[in-house]
């Protein structure tokens, strides 16, 4: 091929995800105006996110008006499971045939249009089950939590440091199964705290309800901290 000639370098300097980041800030502003505390829940598939949310919503029912946006690549199964708690649930399918691996800010903006935000105090976003991609996408949340379960490898935190560093708290779920497993909990917690020193960890069992109180207490504290700023 012939030499296409001299090149000119043009400085660009910009975040690749600038559009998502702007939209996330816009979401954050809107949620703040309405006084909605937003919790982005992430995990690998099968860690028990949906069961955990089900139990959390049931426990919060008399205290807080909550809502859920649930993201899945396909199916509405999770939304159906969450709807039995009586809270408004918006299902987002990123694609019917294997689409996006995360929820982006514009998806949350659209999904939130289906909710009466003025009547919502606590909004859970159940992200797509994936420990890589969702870490990179701000959706306008107040806090991020990551769920890991004792049926996974103890080294999840060191395999996915970006995710574990970006989250404010972790839930170690399915602890009712510990007697039946060789899971080394101390090792898992050591890994977690070497990646994210000081990260609060709640040991829970969605099945038995064990440990849910501490997690719910943490949520309510966050909610309280947000409230004064939102009050008129």
Binding site for another protein (CB under 8 A): 1-2, 4-19, 100-102, 104, 130, 132-133, 135-137, 157-159, 161-163, 165, 193-198
Cα 123 to Cα 38: distance, rounded to the nearest angstrom: 5
- Residue 213 beta carbon to another protein: minimum distance, rounded to whole angstroms: 26
CB-nearer residue toward another protein: 198 or 228: 198
Concatenating the DSSP letter of every residue in 159-222 gives: HSHHHHHH-SEEEEE-GGGGGGS---HHHHHHHHHHHSTT--EEE--TTT-TTHHHHHHHHHHH
- Residue 159 beta carbon to another protein: minimum distance, rounded to whole angstroms: 8
CB-nearer residue toward another protein: 42 or 87: 42
Give Cα 1 to chain centroid, integer Å: 50
CB-nearer residue toward another protein: 33 or 155: 155
User: Which tokens sit at 72?
Assistant: 């899945």
CB atoms within 10 A of CB 74: 12
The helix/strand/coil state of 136 is helix
- Residue 190 beta carbon to another protein: minimum distance, rounded to whole angstroms: 11
CB-nearer residue toward another protein: 132 or 181: 132
Q: Which residues on adjacent β-strands are paired with residue 202?
A: 171
- Residue 214 beta carbon to another protein: minimum distance, rounded to whole angstroms: 21
CB-nearer residue toward another protein: 109 or 176: 109
CB-nearer residue toward another protein: 2 or 186: 2
Nearest CA among 133, 131, 78, 74 for reference residue 102: 133
Question: Angle formed by the axes of helices 105-112 and 18-34, to 10°?
Answer: 30
- Residue 48 beta carbon to another protein: minimum distance, rounded to whole angstroms: 22
- Residue 217 beta carbon to another protein: minimum distance, rounded to whole angstroms: 23
């Amino acid at each position: 091929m012939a030499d296409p000639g001299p090149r000119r370098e043009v400085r660009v300097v910009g975040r690749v995800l600038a559009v998502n980041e702007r939209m996330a800030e816009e979401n954050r502003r809107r949620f703040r105006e309405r006084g909605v505390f937003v919790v982005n829940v992430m995990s690998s598939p099968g860690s028990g996110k949906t069961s955990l949310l089900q139990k959390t919503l049931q426990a919060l029912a008399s205290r807080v008006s909550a809502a859920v946006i649930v993201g899945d690549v396909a199916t509405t199964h999770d939304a159906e499971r969450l709807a039995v708690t009586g809270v408004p649930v918006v299902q987002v399918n990123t694609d019917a045939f294997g689409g996006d691996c995360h929820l982006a800010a514009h998806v949350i903006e659209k999904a939130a249009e289906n909710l009466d935000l003025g009547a919502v105090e606590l909004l859970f976003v159940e992200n797509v089950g994936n420990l890589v991609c969702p870490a990179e996408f701000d959706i306008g949340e107040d806090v991020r939590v990551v769920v890991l379960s004792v049926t996974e490898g103890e080294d999840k935190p060191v395999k996915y440091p970006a995710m574990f560093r970006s989250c404010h708290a972790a839930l170690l779920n399915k602890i009712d199964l510990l007697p039946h497993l060789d899971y080394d909990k101390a090792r898992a917690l050591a890994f977690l705290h070497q990646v994210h020193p000081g990260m609060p960890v709640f040991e829970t069992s969605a099945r038995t309800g064990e440990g849910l109180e501490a997690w719910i207490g943490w949520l309510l504290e966050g909610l309280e901290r947000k409230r004064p700023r939102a009050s008129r």
